[in-house]
Structure 1
Amino acid sequence: MTLAVVTGANSGIGQQIATGLAGRGLDVVLVARDRGRLDAARRHIAGLAPGIDVRVEAVDLADLDETRDLAGRLAALDPSIVVSNAAVIAPLDDRTPAGLHRSLATNHLAPYLLLRTLAERPSPRPRRFVVVGGSPGGLRRVPVDLDDLNAETGRGLGWPPSVRPFAAYGRTKNMNAMFVYGLARRLDGTATTVNGAHPGIISGGRLNRHDRGTLRVFGSMLGRFAPGTETGADTPLWLATAPEADGVSGRFYVRRRAVPTAAHTTDPDRVERLWRESARLVGLTS
């Protein structure tokens, strides 16, 4: 039986993706921090897909030690599909015990560590990695500050202060695209592919639970008109399973169509510098 892994799978888009994978006959590992929500998601998915093995991994992806241990356990299982979906918009003063901004650790460093660890373990079967990113158009104005990955200076994050966590989040979503390109280059010629996907602005998730002030009002207004999680899960799920995506790697998709991302995300020197800095932060060689 083919095994799939979905992070951020206890609610929202992640749970919808996991449900879709189980409905296609894949065993699924659900990864998220909250054990109670994970168990509820497992029961829900198992009820919809009898006979499918649905497992849970209660891991705080902002904790790189926990993520490293998770990567080791998953590598032993050799999953064929991994969807990196977990993300958070964290206040700028929300720091992990290691001193990392929670958005940076959860949204970028965790998938970097997890997918790179899996990619470096040889597999006899084709594998698909999918990284859920952000809007290529909307993120053109928030290039990654390679001198301040950890958002310690607040430089360039905008005004009023309540929107700065969203700008920092946007930078991590640009990091996702850059990571896809860097990893795809290293996987060229192998049977493992990696692509990015923007799910769109959707309602029904918990991404905005820390929003305050202007950002909270803005998010509430958008949520009134946004489609639900099934729409948001469509493109990542398609990339993970569709025959049309066989052998396709190093691209970014919106509504199942490959689209360009900003020049600052594709510049080879910037992509490689982010790779090196990320390796240093997670304790790997570049």
Structure 2
Amino acid sequence: MDRGTTAVVTGSTNGIGEAIARQLAAAEVDVVLVGRDRGRLDAAQERIRTAVPGARLRGELADLALLSEVRALADRLRDTRIDILISNAAVVADLTDHTSEGVQRTLATNHLAPYLLLRTLGENLAAAGQSARLVVVGASPTALRSIPVHLDDLGFENARAHGFPPSFRPFVAYGRTKNMNAMFVYSLAEQLAGTGITVNGAHPGIIRHTGLGRDSARGLLRAFGWSQWVNPLLPGPDAGADTPVWLATSPEVNGVTGRFFVRRKDVLTAAHTTDPDRRARLWEESANLTGLPVRS
């Protein structure tokens, strides 16, 4: 990459996000790591600098579950050169877990935060005539086909709609937010068509050491999280970082936008994620929830 290329990576204090940041740093990209805990941000930067001597890094503190902090982060980044913006942060939270702003935590972190941050910064970059690659880290299109977004219940108020046993419902809700990610990728790519901004999604694969469901979940979901954490048969975070980093840096995808990739291959996601009416509805509801205009 060219010297001076700058990337912003959310959820970059461990797992796939840290691996993305490290691989970008190794490609001589200046990396802005976004995390919610100062100690974890500093520790991640130290690990990356140990692996990549001379890495050019800085940390930005923001809890992406809080829309007020996402807005503040976007404001702080307005004057930063951004060539790459990778949305990786994600959580699995109980359906009853709401933030201090009253938003269900999985919805806020996994969908509303990237909607607010990438839309705001993407539109700003486009208005300034700049070029950039926006990448959203999603999940398996195959696994998510059977759990379409419930457009009348984005905040998961109807717990029974997420199946049984109840202890696994948070993971179903997580999957629905990953379908929201794909829908958002297609819609934002359309909104920014004809500018220098590309928007694509990527499935990193089933990766160990992500920590999803390991700390806050219960029952089967907690067991699932721990099995992912320790399973030696699963690939590690570097494998999960491969496709997002390739989308962010490779000349092979110059100008490619509005696509979803698995193992560097362009794949189709479920029809319920590509349907124009459903995407328009999600876009409008997300705008209302984040305080953005439906059309800029």
Match of 2:222 among 197, 216, 222: 216
3-state SS of 2:212 partner: coil
Whole-angstrom distance in 1 between the partners of 2:7 and 2:47: 17
3-state SS of 1:136 partner: coil
Gaps of 5+ in 2: none
Deviation at 1:208, TM superposition (A): 2.1
TM-score where L is the length of structure 2: 0.94
Match of 2:254 among 246, 265, 272: 246
CA RMSD of aligned residues (A): 1.2
Deviation at 1:78, TM superposition (A): 2.8
Whole-angstrom distance in 1 between the partners of 2:263 and 2:203: 8
Q: Which residue does 1:113 correspond to in 2?
A: 116
The amino acid across from 1:97 in the alignment is S
3-state SS of 2:90 partner: coil
TM-score where L is the length of structure 1: 0.97
Match of 2:197 among 186, 192, 197: 192
Q: Which residue does 1:146 correspond to in 2?
A: 151
- 2:176 is the counterpart of 1:171: yes
Q: Which residue does 2:161 correspond to in 1?
A: 156
CA contact (8 A) 1:75 1:117 kept: no
Q: How does 1:1-286 map to 2 (within 5 A)?
A: 1-121=4-124, 122-209=127-214, 210-223=216-229, 224=231, 225-286=233-294
CA contact (8 A) 1:78 1:123 kept: no
3-state SS of 1:17 partner: helix
Gaps of 5+ in 1: none
3-state SS of 1:141 partner: coil
Whole-angstrom distance in 2 between the partners of 1:34 and 1:131: 22
CA contact (8 A) 1:87 1:103 kept: yes
Whole-angstrom distance in 2 between the partners of 1:219 and 1:34: 21
Whole-angstrom distance in 2 between the partners of 1:74 and 1:222: 34
Whole-angstrom distance in 2 between the partners of 1:63 and 1:222: 27
The amino acid across from 1:25 in the alignment is E
Larger mean Cα displacement after TM superposition, 70-79 or 101-110: 70-79
Whole-angstrom distance in 2 between the partners of 1:181 and 1:54: 30
Deviation at 1:2, TM superposition (A): 1.0
Whole-angstrom distance in 2 between the partners of 1:219 and 1:53: 33
| Number of residue equivalences | 286
3-state SS of 2:79 partner: helix
Larger mean Cα displacement after TM superposition, 123-132 or 135-144: 123-132
The amino acid across from 2:117 in the alignment is L
